[in-house]
Amino acid sequence: MSDRSSASAAAASSAAHEQTGPAGASATTPGTPATPGTDRIVLSGVSKTFTTKQGATTAALDDVNLSVGAGEIFGLIGRSGAGKSTLLRMINALERPTSGTVEVDGVDLAGVTGDRLRRLRHGIGMVFQQFNLMNSRTVYGNIAVPLQLAGMKEAQISARVSELLDFVGLGDKAFVKPRQLSGGQKQRVGIARAIANRPSILLSDEATSALDPQTTGDIVALLRSVNEEFGITIVVVTHEMDVVSRLADRVAILSAGRVVETGEIQQILSRPAHPVTAGLVESYTRTALTEAEKTQLRGEFTDHRVSVTVDDTLVGTPVLSRLARAHAVDFSIIQGGVARVKNHPYGQLSLALYGEDRAVEAFVAELGAQAEVIRW
Amino acid sequence: MIDFGTVVPKVADALFETLYMVTAAFLIAAVVGLSLGIFLFATRPGQILGNRAVHFVLNFVVNIFRPIPFIILLVALTPVTRAIIGTSIGPSAAIPPLAIAGAMGIARVAESNLVAVDPGVVEAAEAMGARPLHILFGFVVREAFGPLLLSLTFISISLIDATAVAGAVGGGGLGNLALTYGYQRFDWAVMALIIIVLIVLVQCVQFLGNWIAKRFID
């Protein structure tokens, strides 16, 4: 891990570069366009400690600083118990920080209570892992609840609910009870309910964690279209790297209540800087070698060994073979893979290099100027 | 052989007395018990009106009445009954103790019905910006409505059961009739008829309760 740190500065600058490129969501937003540089949600120095009955205190969150921009899909990822849900619930004040401030559209939530808080919550939708639908109401009734709370007239409610049912693809299920629906359908109702009042922010608390991979894909696509069609800012909490990689523009990685890394999704996936991030990426994609595997492979491949981080510079251009030919170096692939996130390739190739020592040195140096290369 | 000409009117009168006692006691018990049950739930620590002291007192009051066998409660409440009804004998006199016992039973089962509601629904209601009282009635009580109706059915059948005990102290009704004919005169034909009437009555109440509750559960 330590030999990667030298390249992290370069990684950060290239990530900043990528922001100017077509960034999926914002390019196709027909609704209210997101104003660049406007932060909708700002968390500063947020800590939360819980006191047990025995009087012991545990820190659920420790000095968290984050900001989420308008129209962005922001991922909060970490293992169970990392504090992701606690953090998410602070954005609609279901949870209050022990210290630090939470600001939504420039308003410090600390002073917001009673009716003001309820009005604020009308503008922030939320979807849950267990859907949290009312079994005593039909699908229609569930989606109508937030509209009734907002004081909408019955005729308008009816029109709005059918509009929402069409959007989530459940037009024929209006008068069915939630218990008769599949998990994916229940979450569609949950999403329809959450966006019923046309909120500007949507909070998603492990919305796909109770669903199978196929259904997860459908819900991810639905959340994407919520963002693209209505310009709703979405904060997604999940432990599934797959979900954030398909959904999020930016990601924060939480571990034991601390944000250990924040960045663009491509940057996080291709150059994870923190061991926890690397672990999450590792379990998502097995293109990189673990230290244990490297130790074992050193015996099998006795020449020179490198791991090359793959991005746009190496895909679709014959850089690798051209350099190999120029330096009279041969290579074989030990392990690796290249996948695409938001239409950008990322991945890692581990290569064994054959040739004169000096030629290999020159090859590695020149390749290193264009991509992140680690010798091991 | 059964002399239907004299037995049937007696049983019919006793049935009406039982129905009168059960219905009156049940209506009072439902109003008091449901209010108490909802209050017991809402004052639980961490709930909408969370208040440890109030919850403790309510819980204590309910627990005072719950373990007392009904026949003892009936006798112990005689002064109260006399103060309210004016007499401690007859069907009307059975109503206050029946109502109190029923209310405490309903309070306890209603509380457990409300506790069983998915806390996720409350979380969703809070996230939507619902007011505390709306969360309590529009979400929690609404979600628990089917089970609450089944609990009320259960308690109403317990009240039919308890009216027979009231008969022991001159409360009238089917229990009283069964005691005088079955126990004192060994008239098994009348006993059999009373048992059949009781079985049919309980079955009808349970069927009605299930039928109404089903509309809210499915």
Residue with tokens 């590792």: A282
Per-residue H/E/C for chain B:
CCCHHHHHHHHHHHHHHHHHHHHHHHHHHHHHHHHHHHHHHHCCCCCCCCCHHHHHHHHHHHHHHCCCCHHHHHHHCHHHHHHHHCCCCCHHHHHHHHHHHHHHHHHHHHHHHHHCCCHHHHHHHHHCCCCHHHHHHHHHHHHCHHHHHHHHHHHHHHHHHHHHHHHHCCCCHHHHHHHHHHHHCCCHHHHHHHHHHHHHHHHHHHHHHHHHHHHHHC
- How many Å apart are CA A342 and CA A201, to the nearest integer? 22
Q: What is the mean pLDDT of residues B105-133?
A: 95
Distance from the B38 Cα atom to the nearest Cα atom in chain A, whole angstroms: 18
A196 or B7: which carries more pLDDT confidence? A196
Among A90, A109, A137, A149, the residue to mutate for chain B (most B Cβ within 10 A): A149
**Of the ranges A294-298, A369-373, B135-139, B168-172, the best mean pLDDT one:** B135-139
Q: Are strands A107-108 and A99-104 parallel, antiparallel or unpaired?
A: antiparallel
Q: Per-residue pLDDT tens for A238-270? A: 988 889 988 999 999 999 899 999 998 888 877
Residue A257 to residues A4, A82, A95, A266, B127, Cα–Cα distance (Å)? 25, 5, 14, 23, 23
B126 and chain A: CB distance < 8 Å anywhere? yes
Q: How many domains does chain B have?
A: 1
Amino acid A23: pLDDT: 36
Q: Higher-confidence residue: B218 or A313?
A: A313
Q: Which fold has domain A291-375?
A: Alpha-Beta Plaits (3.30.70)
Band of pLDDT at residue B2, cut at 50, 70 and 90: low
Cα-Cα end-to-end distance for chain A = 11
pLDDT band at B112, cuts 50/70/90?
A: very high
Which residues of chain B are within 8 Å of residue A193 when distances are taken between CB atoms?
Answer: 124, 128
pLDDT greater than 90 at residue A116:
yes
CA atoms within 13 A on the CB side of A255: 11
CA-based nearest distance B152→chain A, Å:
18
Note whether A287 and A335 are within 8 A (CB): yes
**Percent of chain B at pLDDT above 90?**
59
- In this structure, are strands A73-77 and A57-69 parallel, antiparallel, or unpaired? unpaired
Report residue A291's pLDDT band, with 50, 70 and 90 as the boundaries.
Answer: confident
Q: Per the CB < 8 Å rule, is B143 touching A135? A: yes
Inter-chain residue contact B118 with A136, CB threshold 8 Å: no
CATH 2.60.120.10, applies to A34-284: no
B142 in A contact zone (CB under 8 Å): yes
What is the distance of C-alpha A353 from the center of its chain? 36
Please judge whether A136 and B142 are an interchain contact, meaning their C-beta atoms are less than 8 angstroms apart: yes
Residue pLDDT, tens place only, A302-356 = 788 998 888 777 887 888 888 889 998 999 888 887 877 767 787 788 899 998 8
Of B139, B117, B143, which Cα lies nearest the Cα of A148?
B139
Q: Is B10 on the interface with A (CB under 8 A)?
A: no
**CB distance A136–B218 less than 8 Å?**
no
pTM score of the predicted model: 0.79
**B133 in A contact zone (CB under 8 Å):** no
Q: Does B45 touch chain A (CB under 8 A)?
A: no
Closest CA to B206 of B146, B134, B149, B136: B149
Band of pLDDT at residue B182, cut at 50, 70 and 90: confident
Q: Count CB pairs under 8 A between chains A and B.
A: 55
Taking 60 as the threshold, does the pLDDT of residue A18 lie above it?
no
**Residue B194 pLDDT > 80, yes or no?**
yes
CATH value at residue B172: 1.10.3720.10
Measured between CA atoms, the residue of chain B closest to residue A194 is B128
> Pairing relation of β-strands A73-77 and A233-238?
parallel
Determine the pLDDT at residue A24: 35
Q: Which of B117, B121, B128, B131 to mutate to test the interface with A (most CBs of A within 10 A)?
A: B128
Q: Residues 124 to 183 of A: which have CB under 8 A from any B CB?
A: 124, 126, 128, 130-137, 145-146, 149, 177
- CA-to-CA dists, residue B9 to A138, B193, B203, angstroms: 49, 12, 22
- Of the candidates B123, B129, B142, which has its C-beta nearest A119's C-beta? B129
Question: Which residue matches tokens 């020159």?
Answer: A362
Rounded to a whole number of angstroms, the distance from the CA of B41 to the nearest CA of chain A is 19
Sign of the four-CA dihedral A18, A65, A82, A211: negative
pLDDT band (50, 70, 90) for residue A286: low
**How many angstroms separate the Cα of A72 from the Cα of each of A36, A207, A253, A341?**
10, 18, 17, 16
With contacts defined as CB-CB under 8 Å, which chain A residues touch B139?
134
Which one, of A133, A135, A152, lies nearest residue A143 by Cα? Answer: A133
**B174 close to B18: Cβ distance less than 8 angstroms:** yes
Residues of A in contact with B127 (CB under 8 A): 92, 94, 121, 124, 126, 203
* Domain range enclosing B37: 4-217
pLDDT confidence band for B39 (50 / 70 / 90):
very high
CA dist A238 and A220 (Å) reads 12
Contacts of A337 (CB under 8 A, 6+ apart): A285, A286, A287, A347, A348, A349
Domain ranges in chain A are 34-284, 291-375
A184 Cα to chain B: minimum distance (Å): 17
Which band of pLDDT confidence, cut at 50, 70 and 90, is reported for residue A283? low
CA distance B107 to chain A (A): 22
Range scoring the smallest mean pLDDT among A22-31, B49-58, B187-196: A22-31
